[in-house]
Amino acid sequence: MTQPDTIPFCAAADPFPQPAGARPPQGSCDTHAHVFGPAERYPYTANRSYTPPDAPPGAYLHLHRTLGIERGVLVQPSVYGTDNRLMVDTLHYLQQQGLQYKGVAVVDADISERELDQLARAGVCGVRMNLLFKGGIAWRDVESLARRLAERSWHLQFLIDVSEFEQLEARIRSLPTPVVIDHMGHMNVANGLHHPGFQALLRLVEDARAWVKLSGSYRITNQPLPPYTDVLPFAQALVGANPQQMLWGSDWPHPHFGRPMPGDGPLLSLLADWVPDEALRRRILVDNPARLYGFPSC
């Protein structure tokens, strides 16, 4: 078990977000964000890799209103393990206001059908597998869950480094559920476009066996601030492989990140650099997430 005095504290996101250079189209979706705290009500798991500052639902909504985002997907962070209460409570809060938000949970391998039903009623439509940070779900658990999730038309989401994950392509092709890969594969760009792990990811995207979130560019770059030009060829390669399998996410409030904190407006503006075609950007921001998460068509 991790000792509390060795768990690093995270920096907070910018409390005064700025809009992107251009307002996104109606129905745009942020497919990757988290809420945190207060710890007195929603305690963190002892076996975690970081301790975040509070990031409440009000700040999350303020971010989306500033950016012009109308839909969102909350992702269960590793610091809560399989305790999805905060995410579920937040989804109920957002839905009571008539807003369109979904969730991706972390669950135990032996979770009951009743508990899955409760998550589904809250708007959960996927399960996350985290192999980077402590507290996430393990691969063997996902294998045992995959058939049950497929019957519900749920998807599996993976936080992995494609340069280090063994048998990436074969494992994903064997699963009966749609698969979503976080943060463009979470591989440092110094590994290069031709790294076998990234090439495997491109093949999966090309064959529509994986969705990829165009998110977390600041996690894979070797540059301190946007526009992260070294990420551009990787984003363009993924979009070029199959734009219908691309999603966008803010990764707000950017937890477990030790370099200069990026602004959320500039992060959204990067999408216009990566995808100059307006129709393709609309597909990534609106149409693709509606198809995967079940939002109404705009």
Instruction: Kindly list the catalytic residues.
Output: 251
How far, in whole angstroms, is CA 271 from its chain's centroid? 16
Cα 282 to its chain centre, rounded Å, is: 19
Helix axis angle, 113-122 to 85-96, nearest 10°: 40
Closest CA to 221 of 209, 230, 232: 230
Q: What are phi and psi of 105, to 5 degrees?
A: -100, 165
Tokens representing residue 57 in the block: 């639902």
Contact assessment for residue 148 and residue 93, using Cβ atoms and an 8 Å cutoff: no
**How many Cβ atoms from other residues are within 10 Å of residue 85's Cβ?**
11
Name the H helices within 167-277. Answer: 168-173, 196-206, 217-220, 232-241, 264-274
* Residue 29 DSSP symbol: E
Distance of CA 281 to the CA centre of its chain: 18
Tell me the Ramachandran region of residue 185: left when phi exceeds 0, alpha when psi lies from -120 to 50, beta otherwise: left
Which residues are 104's β-sheet partners?
75, 126
Map tokens 């369109």 to a residue. 100
